[in-house]
Amino acid sequence: MSEEYNEIDLNLDDVPDKYGIIPAVDTVFRVASATRVSKAGPDYTTKPSPDGFWPYVDLRVNPISDDPNIACKELMLVVSFNPKALFTMKAIREAMGLPTNVNVRSMLTNTTSDQDYIGKTFGCTPSIVASKKDSNVKVNQLNRPYRKAR
């Protein structure tokens, strides 16, 4: 047995579900990570692909809660560079207190700008919807309106 397991005395039933749903109530979230992604592959993280896929920033967020079964959850929020979806980028940046008087092209070509989101907080009410992969599974979805964290 590996030495790293020598110190673990834990029942798996006691491990909280990282991906379970949280209640649909006003919640404050903190951005844990921000990763630039393109459905067309790594060559298209700073420009749209020939197929018309725009890169996006995959934000992984955690609810801020005193309840460890809520605080451990991880939700995803997509911030797209698609010109038709920039209203979402603007709304989330305003809620996080990030500047909105920035050039989108410069953010698109500078992938380190994605790191501006890390550690920022915002509030919203997550909805509970059926998963796109399995309609029998419920998941949270983060939608506008976003607000500044209180």
Distances (CA, A) of 131 to 37, 56, 109, 135, 140: 21, 20, 32, 5, 9
- Find out whether the peptide bond into 145 is cis, omega within 30 degrees of 0: yes
pLDDT for residue 48: 92
pLDDT of residue 17: 74
Whether the predicted model's global pTM rises above the 0.75 cut:
yes
Surface-to-core class of residue 124, CB atoms within 10 Å of its CB (0-12 exposed, 13-18 middle, 19+ buried): buried
Calpha distance 81→109 (Å, rounded): 11
